[in-house]
Every structure is written in C-alpha cells, then in structure tokens.
Amino acid sequence: MMNLDFPNSKHDESRQGEALVLDKPVLKNNGRKLYIESYGCAMNFSDSEIVASILADQGFETTSDFKEADVIFINTCSIRENAEQRVRNRLKEFKVSKMRNPGMVVGVLGCMAERLKAKFLEEEKLVDVVVGPDAYRDLPNLIEQVDGGQKAVNVLLSREETYADISPVRLNSNGINAFVSIMRGCDNMCSFCVVPFTRGRERSRDAFSIVKECGDLFNAGYKEVTLLGQNVDSYKWTSEEGITMNFAGLLEFVALINPKLRVRFSTSHPKDITDEVLLTMKKYDNICKYIHLPIQSGNSRILELMNRTYDRAWYMNRIDAIRRILPGCAISTDVITGFCSETEEEHQETLSMMDYVQYDFAYMFMYSERPGTLAAKRYADDIPEEVKGRRLREIVDKQQAHSYKRLLEQIGQVQQVLIEKRSKKSELDYSGRSDKNATVVFPADDRFKPGDYVDVLIEKCTTATLIGKIIG
Ligand code: SAH
Ligand code: SF4
Ligand code: F3S
C-alpha cells in the first residue's frame, strides 16, 4: 500500500526488473538467447512483449539468466531520478558478463534511452545499442549493426507507430491476465513529467486491432484484459470509412467480446473522464468497478503550476459523478508531495482531499525534478528533502488508514473473485482479485482452478488483503 518509489500504478512493484521469458519455444531458432528485463509502468512491460515478439520472429529464444544471454535488453523508466539510478546500478551488474563474453550485445530500451539518446553510449561504455520506444521494429537491423562491430542508436519518435499489427507474445504470463496497449504517447505536458518527451505525441491504436487482440486472448483462455494508455479518456480513433470511436465506445466494444472476459483500464485523467465512460461501466457487469484517477495535489494553485488543467473543485465533481453513477466503485490515485513552492496549507489540502475521497489505494511520491520538463525550467525545486519526507509520511499514514477502512467495509459481502494463483503465503490457499481490484485469499477447493470465477464470502481482512471462503 505504501509505495515510495514505484514508477507507475499500472504495475506491481514485485515485477520491476523481473526477467521476462516466453512461454513457448520460438520457430526457426537462431541459437541466440535474449534476456530482457523491464522497469516502469505497464506500458513498458507491454512494450517488452512487442520487442520479444519482433525478436522471436528472428529466431531469438528468451532466457531468465542474463549470464547465458547473447543479447541483454533493459527496458527503462525515467519518471523519477531513483528509477534511472536503479537502471544504472543494474548495468554495473551486467559488466562482468560482458567482460566474459565480449560478443554479447547490451541494449538500453525505453524512456531513458529516449531521454539520453546517444549520450548513453558515452556515459555507459558497456552499452552497444540505444533504442527509443517507437523504434522497436528496427531492432533486427540495429543488432546486425552491433554484430558488425558498431554501436547503434535509433531514438526517432513517431506520430503514427502503434505496433497495431504486431500481436505481442506474452512474457511471464499466468495465462489469465493480460495488458493491451490502446494508445501511445501523451500530449498533456504536466509540468513535472518526462513522459511527453520520452514517449512522444499521443496516438490511438486501431480499434479493430485492439478488439481482435482481446478476442484472441479470450479464445486462448485469458479472463481479464487491462487496456493501457497514459490518458485512456482521450482515446480517439477514426476508421478509413470515417467512423470515429472514443474511449467509451472502445470500452463497450471490448466488453461485448464475452461477459466472462473482465475489462480493466488505466490511467484515467480527471480532466477527461466523462459521464459517458462511467455510464458504460455501469451498463456492463464485466467492466470492473475500479478507477485509477490521479489527483497529484489537492490544492488548486499547485495543480495550476503542475499544468494539470483541472482544479480541486473539478476533481471533486468527478469523484461525485463516480459515486453517483457507480456507487461502491473503488477509486485509487497518485499523489506527488513537495512540488515546487508547496506550502504547509497547500499540503493540508491534499490531506483533506484524501479525507473527502477516502481512496481504496494510492501511489505516493516525493517530487523528483526531471531535466527538460517545464517545472525544471520554470520553478525551483525548493522544498527541502526532509520536509518532502515528512509530508509524504503524513500522506502515507492517512492512506493506510483509508485503505484499511475500505477493506473493513467489505466484510460480510459476497464478491466475485477471479482466481489467479496459489497464495504466496500458503499452498493451501488461492489468491485472486475482486471486481474492485482488491486481493482476496481463501482456502483452495479442488472443484476450481486458476482462471475460474468464484463467489467468495469476505470474512475478515488484513491491512492489504481480504480473506474469505468460497460459497455455493
Ligand atoms: N499518465 C498518468 C501518470 C503517469 S506517471 C497520469 O497522468 O495520471 C505515474 C505517476 O508518477 C504520476 O501520476 C505521478 O504521480 C508520478 N510522477 C510523474 N512524474 C513525477 C516526478 N517528476 N516526480 C514524482 N512523481 C512523478
Ligand atoms: Fe505525464 Fe501528465 Fe501525461 Fe500523465 S497526463 S503521462 S502525468 S504528462
Ligand atoms: Fe516510466 Fe516511461 Fe512508463 S518514464 S512510467 S516507463 S512511460
């Protein structure tokens, strides 16, 4: 629940830096092994699946051990300074392997690659190839270039690339939940954020290719898809016939694939989330009643400096709309504390907003200045670290109380749970998630297996987990 340095709400901290491997052998194996690990948001993890798919077509197998790899890729995140530091430290660990095997190709992919470009090659000598998020189709050529003894860089951003036609292979998949990118980039220019610089302009993917991918996943046994974008509410795609689809339309299109396919999405932007989206969620039982709606700050002056384009009153109005249209819907958020010039009173307004919403869950961060952003150019990063730290602690404490309260409220309810796996703590228990995205643990029952839906009576909870038993 407390998450101080996790880059994005769309992924669980346990997956950061995880080695990602294919669940099936590749055709036309070329005898070379790819090791790929990912940092950052779910979009980066989803991109790693596109990368693995492009290289699988070239005959690359995946390995979970970088020491035996011929190609090491690290798919990076730039969102906060510590995210970048983590990658730099990791590169040091690869150095030994590279010394032992000089023919090994080391590549940096993703947002740090895009931010630092060729500078990366100067700063980190062991890196051979630097590839930005829109240039993955070029990977086979770039690897060839490195094989020929040169360093290679492609960090061109695109206005069109959505990799729509590449049906990604799944990495480390449980065969139940999958992430599907519906758009790329971001046009919002929040003053603290590097994403518009590392991911480029916003573009939406062909709706039919999204529905096809989700349908194929369902046919392959998947039970839950999460539609991904930095700002899903601004999804907008026009077909060749001139038919335009917005996010509400896409959501409906995906929900109609099958009532047994659960649909989630992330991230919603407070300025753009419409009642139409909320009404679509209400109309379909298989669209999960859970919304991630990052507030960042509860104070209107700070929101203005952040260029979030909504204020406190607007955000509250959106929360009221969710409560009205979708009673009981879970809501989570992201908070940045200690943004440039934030006063104590303004910090108090973030705390009072948290009291107003009583979020089910939150990701909470200290402001980290990012080179090149509007905030870095215009405003001084003037809140001392210890003040940022103390404010963060107050926010985290409040959130823990709210998260616990939200779980306690669910005791006595019967909830539909999608079984995902055996519980980490006990082989005798199953673990899954409720519609509202809470983790639910309950005694395993041989009649059911991961991938099945079960009705669970919630009997008690810890501070982070609901505990119950299967009924009926
Ligand atoms: N597109 C999403 C957020 C993507 S980044 C949105 O607009 O809500 C995920 C989260 O990282 C952000 O919501 C923000 O809380 C945090 N974040 C982004 N830049 C940051 C920075 N410079 N310092 C601290 N946290 C940051
Ligand atoms: Fe960054 Fe703002 Fe875009 Fe989110 S909406 S990715 S915070 S610029
Ligand atoms: Fe990080 Fe890039 Fe995602 S900066 S949060 S990996 S879009």
Assigned domain for 309 exists: no
For 142-207, where are the E strands, in sequence order?
Answer: 152-154, 177-181, 183-184, 203-204
In a shared domain, residues 79 and 198: no
Assigned domain for 53 exists: yes
- From the CB of 193, is ligand 3 less than 6 Å away? no
386 CA from centroid of ligand 1 (Å): 21
In a shared domain, residues 251 and 284: yes
Q: Is residue 270 within 8 Å of residue 310, measured between CB atoms?
A: yes
pLDDT band of 25, cuts 50, 70, 90 = confident
In a shared domain, residues 36 and 126: yes
Assigned domain for 369 exists: no
Element (H, E) at 75: strand 71-76
- From the CB of 268, is ligand 3 less than 6 Å away? no
Residue 392's Cβ-side half-sphere holds a number of Cα atoms within 13 Å equal to 22
pLDDT band of 3, cuts 50, 70, 90 = very low
In a shared domain, residues 182 and 279: yes
194 CA from centroid of ligand 2 (Å): 8
- From the CB of 62, is ligand 2 less than 6 Å away? no
- Residue to mutate, 41, 78, 115, 186, ligand 2, most ligand atoms under 8 Å from C-beta: 186
Ligand 1 pocket, residues with Cβ under 6 angstroms: 8, 79-80, 192-193, 230-231, 267, 269, 294, 296, 334, 336, 365, 367-368, 370
Ligand 3 atom showing the smallest separation from residue 44 Cα: 6
Ligand 3 atom showing the smallest separation from residue 199 Cα: 7
In a shared domain, residues 139 and 195: no
The pLDDT, as a whole number, for residue 5 is 35
In a shared domain, residues 77 and 108: yes
pLDDT in tens, 393-445: 999 999 999 999 999 999 999 999 999 999 988 889 999 999 999 999 999 99
DSSP 281: H
Give the annotated binding-site residues.
41, 77, 111, 186, 190, 193
Residue 225 has pLDDT above 70, yes or no: yes
Give the annotated binding-site residues for [4Fe-4S] cluster.
41, 77, 111, 186, 190, 193
Nearest to 226 by CA among 442, 41, 419: 41
Ligand 1 atom showing the smallest separation from residue 373 Cα: 22
Domain count across the chain: 3
Assigned domain for 363 exists: no
pTM value is 0.95
Ligand 1 atom showing the smallest separation from residue 363 Cα: 15
User: Last residue of some domain: 246, 262, 292?
Assistant: 292
Assigned domain for 222 exists: yes
Rounded to an integer, what distance in angstroms lies between the CA atom of residue 250 and that of residue 252? 5
In a shared domain, residues 146 and 213: no
Nearest to 420 by CA among 462, 379, 465, 380: 465
Structure tokens at 43: 């979009």
In a shared domain, residues 46 and 147: yes
pLDDT band of 13, cuts 50, 70, 90 = low
In a shared domain, residues 143 and 218: no
The pLDDT, as a whole number, for residue 6 is 35
In a shared domain, residues 139 and 191: no
Residue 19's Cβ-side half-sphere holds a number of Cα atoms within 13 Å equal to 16
Span of 11-15, 157-161, 443-447 with lowest mean pLDDT:
11-15
In a shared domain, residues 30 and 147: yes
Mean pLDDT of 245-255: 98
161 CA from centroid of ligand 3 (Å): 17
Which residues lie below 8 Å from residue 365, measured CB to CB, with a gap of 6+? 4, 5, 80, 334, 335, 336, 337, 392
Assigned domain for 54 exists: yes
pLDDT band of 199, cuts 50, 70, 90 = very high
Rounded to an integer, what distance in angstroms lies between the CA atom of residue 231 and that of residue 186? 7
Residue 461 has pLDDT above 80, yes or no: yes
Ligand (nearest to CA of 363): 1
3 state SS of 105? strand
Assigned domain for 312 exists: no
Provide the mean pLDDT of the chain: 94
User: Last residue of some domain: 154, 187, 207?
Assistant: 154
Q: What percent of the chain stands above pLDDT 90? A: 89
Q: What CATH number has the domain bearing residue 71?
A: 3.40.50.2300
- From the CB of 270, is ligand 2 less than 6 Å away? no
The pLDDT, as a whole number, for residue 4 is 36
* CB environment 124-163: b (16+ within 10 A), e (fewer): bebbbbbbbbbbbebbeebbebbeeeeebbbbebbeebbb
Domain encompassing residue 252:
174-292
Helices within 364-465 (DSSP H only): 374-378, 385-408
Ligand 3 atom showing the smallest separation from residue 79 Cα: 4
Q: Atom 1 in ligand 1: which residue has the minimum CA distance?
A: 230
* Cα 29 to the center of its chain, rounded Å: 31
- From the CB of 296, is ligand 2 less than 6 Å away? no
- Residue to mutate, 230, 232, 365, 370, ligand 2, most ligand atoms under 8 Å from C-beta: 230
Which residues lie below 8 Å from residue 418, measured CB to CB, with a gap of 6+? 176, 223, 224, 262, 432, 433, 451, 452, 453
pLDDT band of 135, cuts 50, 70, 90 = very high
User: Last residue of some domain: 244, 260, 292?
Assistant: 292
pLDDT in tens, 60-96: 999 999 999 999 999 999 999 999 999 999 999 999 8
